[in-house]
Structure 1
Amino acid sequence: MTPADSGARGRTFPREARLVQRGEFDAVYRTGKRRSSSHFTVFFRANELGQSRFGFSIKKALGGAVVRNRIRRRVREIVRCHRTEIPAGWDIVIHPKSSVTRTAFAALTADLLRLLKNV
């Protein structure tokens, strides 16, 4: 079964939609702006592309590798499922706060989408 067969079309998270190189992250930190909520800090800056690109930075203080990977998977899933609702043309780096480990997925989704829609 392919993604097109399962109805997942448009819900992928391709490499073009990700920030992967250190220089891309540094550019967002250096020249971008910041917004915060109770669960996330989001850094963003405009890009010249037709789509937004996302990066995730999970600090070691949040827990061991298993905990950090779980956080990363949850945040990536929120972005992947709602990518079409987020304004295009931005490079965005998402920093989860320690409260994400104790918060329901639905609450995290609402909080992150509220931040990202106001970029």
Structure 2
Amino acid sequence: MRRGEFDAVYRAGKRRSSAYFTVFLRSNSLPHSRFGFSIKKALGGAVVRNRIRRRLREIVRLHRGEIPAGWDIVVHPKSAVARAEFNALAADFVRLIPMA
């Protein structure tokens, strides 16, 4: 996703929050869902932020079949993500995503 697409999701989308994430959702007319991750520098150095990003991408990859098509999804991880177990993150993420 590009900057303008992120902005459109923030402006016209819905927001859902949990202990680990804030997720912004907006429907699109595409036959697939698109994901963006915005990880602020306050969460840690580059190594920590990249680890968080890799974990989020893996969650999306593993649960791609459960995620309905036609959504733009922007994920903002919270500080607890850096210390959380992978399975807890995955369960929390899937709970926030709209199901078909």
Instruction: Please give the range of the TM-score, normalised by the shorter of the 2 chains.
Output: over 0.9
The structure with the larger Rg is: 1
1:52-63 alignment to 2 at 5 Å?
52-63=33-44
Tell me if the contact between 2:20 and 2:77 (Cα under 8 Å) persists in the aligned partners. yes
Deviations, residues 38-82 of structure 1 (Å, cap 9, x unaligned): 000000101011111100000111000000000000011000111
- TM-score relative to the length of structure 1: 0.81
State, as a whole percentage, how many aligned pairs show the same letter: 74
In 2: Cα distance, 1:70 partner to 1:118 partner: 27
TM-score normalised over the length of structure 2: 0.95
The list of structure 1 runs, each at least 4 consecutive aligned residues, that deviate by more than 4 angstroms after superposition, is: none
> What runs of 5+ residues in structure 1 fail to find an aligned partner?
1-18
* Number of aligned residue pairs: 100
How many Å apart are 1:100 and its aligned residue? 0.5
In the alignment, structure 1 residue 108 sits paired with structure 2 residue 54:
no
**Cα displacement string for residues 1-43 of structure 1 (whole angstroms, at most 9, x for unaligned residues):** xxxxxxxxxxxxxxxxxx2x11111110111110000000000
User: Which SS does the other structure have where 1:94 is aligned?
Assistant: strand
User: What stretches of structure 2 of length at least 5 have no aligned partner?
Assistant: none
Q: How much is the aligned-residue C-alpha RMSD, in angstroms?
A: 1.2
**Structure 1, residues 70-110: CA drift from partner, whole Å, max 9, x if none?**
00000110001111101111100011100011110010010
Match of residue 41 from structure 1 = 22
Decide which of 52, 55, 61 is 1:80's aligned counterpart. Answer: 61
Q: Does 1:98 align with 2:92?
A: no
